[in-house]
Amino acid sequence: MRTFFLILLVAFTFGCSKKQNNVATIFSNTSSYGFDKVVHDSSITKLQGTWGTNELILANKTTDYFFFPRDVNVLYFGYNIKINPDQTFECFETADCGNGCFTSSKGKYKIIDKNYICFYLEEINRSGECSENSKPNIDLGLYYYYEKEKAIYLLKSNGDLEEDKRNVRYRDLVIAKRKEIESFDNNNLNLFMFNWKQFDSNFISGIKLSIFKEIGKNNVDEDQVVAICMAENNIKDYEILYAYKGNEYSTQAVFLVKMNGEYRYVIYDTRDKPKVSLYNDKEIEQVDKKISEIDRDKTLKSKIFKETNTKKNTVHSKKTITVLKKENEIYKIIYEEYPLDLEHYPIYTRTLYFQNSRCIYKGNQTTFMGEDSRISQEGVYFLNGESSIVANKIIRNDSGIRLQSIDWELQQIDQIMNEVKKQNL
């Protein structure tokens, strides 16, 4: 019985491996018309229906799509795709006005199994302020698809299932990091994090500038871009793991690389003059780690001071200062100011975190409680042991909160510390 079971297991494993290898072989070269060589599995129907999508299916250069649910009874604006039961697809745009150029496409699809789908693009039609129609009739190749949070994600694939699963993990890392990068203002307060290298004659080391004039925002040659970035940072050993270039309007591509046994990120930005950065978030991560440790520390003792303002000619009705300490060392201060008129004025909350008696982070929160309720949050990191080196992060921006100046932030910290000292907290 045991022998029989082992034979079945080996046969099953070999069969799966053979099927996977066949898929990889068929789509190893799109000129071999892999679409015609695979069989559609009609039993898989979960992709059928009308979805919103990040991009229209127009060319084989797109490396990833995601389809998200839409209520057919609600009119949405943006890109859409219909996956029809008859193995055809239709992509189209919806907008709130009739002006502009509207693109649609049609073609065929085959769902190979629970992991893979392939597309064949037949027509591209344009209307409105443009009229350039075409019939490309091209095999778009193979995509690995998976479901996450009710959406369907598709990644360009060569048929290697293990590699596809790794790419899903890499993609999640890059998307999360891209979101973080975008939260830091691209201004002089954060220049030390990005350390941008411009693509100009003074920057490029022995490589012709003409190479980069041909790099479009959606046609980035990651090998060349990352190679230059690494050369300028004197790094020789690295591996490119994943590239995320955004949608057709994106001006920024983010590459995940592995170097010295750790993940790092290269940013390529085409706004104004093209530039590249080896993103330095190590100190940010260290501060975030310390903040998390402080928030979890149950041994910290709190002292609270509350003050109610009875004066008529004042904006704020009360304030609360909460100090968290251990052995007379301050780790965290929460400073809250409440207005007299909660309907029209916000609550201001300033949260300070300390390490070795030095403020390493100041969180600013503005909360409106009235009918138009909204909240804004901003984080200011004080790094390298110097108050003049900061990173400004916009966490939420529902009411126009902006960092005023470093001097203003330091002045606020001094005022809070003087009040803590005055109240003997």
Residues 136 and 33 both lie in one domain: yes
Q: pLDDT of 291-346, one tens digit each?
A: 999 999 999 999 999 988 756 556 667 899 999 999 989 999 999 999 888 888 88
In Å, what is the CA distance from 95 to each residue of 56, 103, 128? 14, 11, 12
Q: Give 3-state DSSP helix, strand, coil % of the chain, rounded to 5.
A: 25, 40, 35
Residues 133 and 252 both lie in one domain: no
Strand partners, 264: 257
- Nearest Cα neighbor of 346 from 319, 324, 369 is 369
Residues 403 and 385 both lie in one domain: yes
Q: pLDDT of 104-120, one tens digit each?
A: 999 999 999 999 999 99
* Domain-terminating residue out of 261, 280, 299: 280
Question: What value, to the nearest 5°, has the Cα angle with vertex 149 and ends 147 and 152?
Answer: 35
How far apart (Å, rounded) are the C-alpha atoms in residues 68 and 43?
21
Q: Which helix (H) or strand (E) holds 51?
A: strand 49-53
How far apart (Å, rounded) are the C-alpha atoms in residues 42 and 48?
11
- Would 1 be classed as within a structural domain? no
Residues 313 and 271 both lie in one domain: no
Residues 265 and 297 both lie in one domain: no
Residues 177 and 50 both lie in one domain: no
Q: What is the mean pLDDT of the chain?
A: 84
How far apart (Å, rounded) are the C-alpha atoms in residues 58 and 133?
12
How far apart (Å, rounded) are the C-alpha atoms in residues 413 and 421?
12
Residues 34 and 153 both lie in one domain: yes
How far apart (Å, rounded) are the C-alpha atoms in residues 278 and 229?
7
How far apart (Å, rounded) are the C-alpha atoms in residues 198 and 276?
7
Residues 260 and 301 both lie in one domain: no
Q: pLDDT of 373-383, one tens digit each?
A: 888 999 999 98
Residues 32 and 116 both lie in one domain: yes
Q: What is the dihedral of CA 282, 286, 291, 295, to 10 degrees?
A: 120
- Would 9 be classed as within a structural domain? no
* Domain-terminating residue out of 280, 297, 312: 280
Helices (H), 238-328: 282-296
Residues 59 and 115 both lie in one domain: yes
**Residue range of the domain that includes 52:** 21-157
pLDDT at site 14: 36
* Domain-terminating residue out of 238, 253, 280: 280
* pTM for the full predicted model: 0.76
Residues 394 and 326 both lie in one domain: yes
- Would 195 be classed as within a structural domain? yes
pLDDT at site 398: 73
- Would 392 be classed as within a structural domain? yes
In Å, what is the CA distance from 121 to each residue of 31, 59, 104, 135, 398? 14, 8, 11, 8, 42
Q: What is the DSSP letter of 346?
A: P
User: How many domains, in total, are found in the chain?
Assistant: 3
Answer yes or no: are the C-beta atoms of 243 and 222 closer than 8 Å: yes
- Would 95 be classed as within a structural domain? yes
Residues 350 and 403 both lie in one domain: yes
